[in-house]
Amino acid sequence: MSPLARTLAHPAALRIARTALGLVLLVAALGKIGDPAAFAGQVENYRLAPLWSVNLIAMSLPWIELLAGLALVLGVRPRAGAVVALLCMAVFTVAVGSAWARGLDFECGCFGKASAATVGARKFTENVGLTLLAAIAALRARGGAAS
């Protein structure tokens, strides 16, 4: 394990990272589950997925996020939860980055309709940060102590 990973993989650091990530995911997921139509509208706005699939994505992605968040917060299969979070974050980061590059200006859809943050540098940076957090949370704990 590289020295950096070893530092980050300290059980206490991991627990913090996982709990923090899990909470972010839970809040994000609940916001989207609360208003599926709004989230579907935002997925459509990104114009990345084919239109017919937008609703399927909008109805399942929040629940995937929710389960990943629960896994992280509750500590049940947290690494799997973190990897799922990592996949989600990677996809979101690409989506936000792509929209930003195309100059699309609409609600971000990151937290459901609760935050009407337009796509841009700030949102992109936030996503990159969360992706990194997810990568950390996915690390295997340093041996010898329960996480």
| Contacts with another protein, residue ranges (CB under 8 A) | 33, 35-37, 40-41, 44-45, 51-56, 58-68, 71, 77, 79-81, 83-84, 87, 104-106, 113, 116, 140-141, 143-147
Please, what is the minimum distance in Å from the beta carbon of residue 130 to another protein? 17
Q: How far is the CB of 1 from another protein (least distance, A)?
A: 13
CA distance 124 to 118: 10
Q: Sign (positive/negative) of CA torsion 90, 93, 95, 98?
A: negative
- Measured distance CA(81)–CA(69) in Å, rounded: 7
Q: Which is nearer to another protein, 115 or 125 (CB)?
A: 115
**What does the alpha-carbon distance between residue 68 and residue 76 come to, in Å, rounded to a whole number?**
10
Cβ of residue 136: shortest distance to another protein, in angstroms?
Answer: 14
* Closer Cβ to another protein, 67 or 128, answer by number: 67
